[in-house]
Amino acid sequence: MSANPDSITAVKVAALAADEMKAADIVAFDVSQPLAITDAFMLATGSSPRQVLAIAENMERRLYEKLGLKAVRREGLDEASWVLIDYGDFVLHVFDERSRGFYRLDDLWGDCPRITLDLPSPEEARQRLGVAENRPVGGPSDAVPALAVRQGAADQTGGGATDAAAEKMRQIDPRLLFTAPAGAAHMARSVVLVRHGRTRYNAVHRIQGRTDIELDDKGLWQVEETGKALRALYVDSQAAQDEGRRQLVVASPLIRAAQTAHAFADPLGLPVHTDERIEERDFGQWEAWSQTELMEKFPVDFRGWQNGDGSELKHGAEAKPHVYARGVEALNDWAQKADPSTDLFYFSHGSLLAQLIQGVVGSGYPTGFESMASMRNAHWAILQPVFFDQTHYHWRLVDYNHGPQAAADSKKWNGNMTPLGLN
């Protein structure tokens, strides 16, 4: 008996994802013979708690993106010295150096057959990441001005990055670096991320998730005000007219987001494209429960969710890395359907937008406690692509939680802001 081929394929995807985060000592064992409950173990090492978590998060993201797989259990995220991610048919282990040496799983399972992982050579890895040499993963650097990169530096070097741009690209966390195969000429000027208007669930702090709830009367008024403000600022303004800006509109198919999108797009005669990838986070068994009810029924798990320890996963909620993975895939796909004269309008939901924004700017990369307050109903944020060379870019947050003039009166707009990113 040997490991299922699907498990081997998944372990290879996870190994490549760990390698992207510069994990060390990546190995995998076929443990199907001694263990009847799982097929394979994969082991990797990070040099710090931050890198351990980065490796674990990237493996989950890649497995969801490429194979649609979701973990059934996670352990060790708090201490980040040994993170275990259980997919049922295979288990992923990420250690820090001390824990790898102490627990010696390599020796424990060393008699089992090794799985060939087909990892790239160091040179292939550098080429895949678009860098000239192997540097330690760093935090986000100050962005180079988008206009300079679009119109000057890259073109002057015959398509390559300038020394300064290349240096910045080497410093940036690879999770925040994206590729546009067709280059900056096929990339939206900016992306306006809009949260939907209020629903009756929002009004009483009840979790919606994937439940399809339409806007209430207050929400319909909000999106009319927001639609007018978006058109005035980004369509009808003198600057927009002088630059000949165009608009591309995409929305979650859930009715509250679609209604918000149509309030903006219909007066302009623009079509609204829908994309299931930008639907709200699935909250499983907690959907339709109010926060008060959850606090009374599940006090420990509710507090754990508030503190970002993932307790909501016990009740069927979708993992945050999965939410981010589908949201950012849609973001990049739609942005690359446009050009520098087009603004993309992306109508979605509070929790998805929170994970997306934190993920692309590297602020609390999608796990644990949110480092940014949730956007209010019918408010928006703006991202702009910053190119390092002809094809590599990252996203810069240039505006957040912006609303129409009517929102200046908070009590009139929505009463208390919906907490915790619920929508």
* The pLDDT of residue 78: 78
Q: Are residues 84 and 198 in the same domain?
A: no
Q: Are residues 195 and 335 in the same domain?
A: yes
CA distances to 21, 86, 97, 107, 318 from 24, rounded to whole Å, are 9, 20, 9, 17, 29
Q: Are residues 322 and 222 in the same domain?
A: yes
Q: Tell me whether residue 310 is in a domain.
A: no
* The pLDDT of residue 109: 86
Q: Can you give the CATH number for the domain in which 36 is found?
A: 3.30.460.10
Q: Tell me whether residue 290 is in a domain.
A: no
Q: Are residues 272 and 407 in the same domain?
A: yes
Q: Tell me whether residue 135 is in a domain.
A: no
Q: Can you give the CATH number for the domain in which 233 is found?
A: 3.40.50.1240
Q: How many domains does the chain have?
A: 2
Q: Are residues 209 and 81 in the same domain?
A: no
User: How does strand 73-75 pair with strand 82-86?
Assistant: antiparallel
Which of 98, 119, 140 marks a domain boundary? 119
SS (H, E, C) the chain: CCCCHHHHHHHHHHHHHHHHCCCEEEEEEECCCCCCCCCEEEEEEECCHHHHHHHHHHHHHHHHHHHCCCCCEEECCCCCCEEEEECCCEEEEEEEHHHHHHHCHHHHCCCCCECCCCCCCHHHHHHHHCCCCCCCCCCCCCCCCHHHHHHHHHHHCCCCCCHHHHHHHHHCCHHHCEECCCCHHHCCCEEEEEECCCEHHHHCCECCCCCCCCECHHHHHHHHHHHHHHHHHHCCCHHHHHHCCEEEEEECCCHHHHHHHHHHHHHHCCCCEECHHHCCCCCHHHCCCEHHHHHHHCHHHHHHHHCCCCHHHHHCCCCHHHHHHHHHHHHHHHHCCCCCCEEEEEEECHHHHHHHHHHHHCCCCCCCCCCCCCCCCCCEEEEEEEECCCCEEEEEEEEEEECCHHHHCHHHHHCCCCHHHCC
Which of 119, 134, 155 marks a domain boundary? 119
Q: Tell me whether residue 75 is in a domain.
A: yes
Angle between helices 350-361 and 320-335 (to 10 degrees): 80
Q: Tell me whether residue 249 is in a domain.
A: yes
Q: Are residues 115 and 239 in the same domain?
A: no
Q: Are residues 186 and 82 in the same domain?
A: no
Whether 218 contacts 414, CB under 8 Å: yes
| Euclidean distance between CA atoms 409 and 386, whole angstroms | 34
| Euclidean distance between CA atoms 30 and 196, whole angstroms | 47
Q: Tell me whether residue 139 is in a domain.
A: no
* The pLDDT of residue 131: 36
Which of 102, 119, 136 marks a domain boundary? 119
Q: Are residues 407 and 334 in the same domain?
A: yes
Q: Tell me whether residue 165 is in a domain.
A: no
Q: Are residues 17 and 114 in the same domain?
A: yes
| Euclidean distance between CA atoms 226 and 312, whole angstroms | 32
Q: Are residues 113 and 200 in the same domain?
A: no
pTM confidence score: 0.62
Q: Tell me whether residue 373 is in a domain.
A: yes
Q: Are residues 355 and 221 in the same domain?
A: yes
Candidates 31, 409, 24, 1; CA nearest to 221 is 409
Q: Are residues 271 and 194 in the same domain?
A: yes
* The pLDDT of residue 122: 54
| Euclidean distance between CA atoms 324 and 281, whole angstroms | 9
What does the pLDDT profile of the chain (423 residues) look like in tens digits?
688 899 999 999 999 999 988 899 999 999 888 877 889 999 999 988 888 888 998 899 899 989 999 888 888 887 888 999 999 999 999 999 988 988 888 888 888 999 999 887 655 544 544 433 333 223 322 222 222 222 333 333 334 445 565 565 556 667 788 988 888 888 999 999 999 999 999 999 999 999 999 999 999 999 999 999 999 999 999 988 998 999 999 999 999 999 999 999 999 999 999 999 999 999 999 999 998 999 999 999 998 888 877 889 889 999 888 899 999 999 999 999 999 999 999 999 999 999 999 888 876 544 444 556 788 999 999 999 988 888 889 899 989 999 998 776 666 776 644 444 444
Residue 262 lies in domain:
178-282+318-421
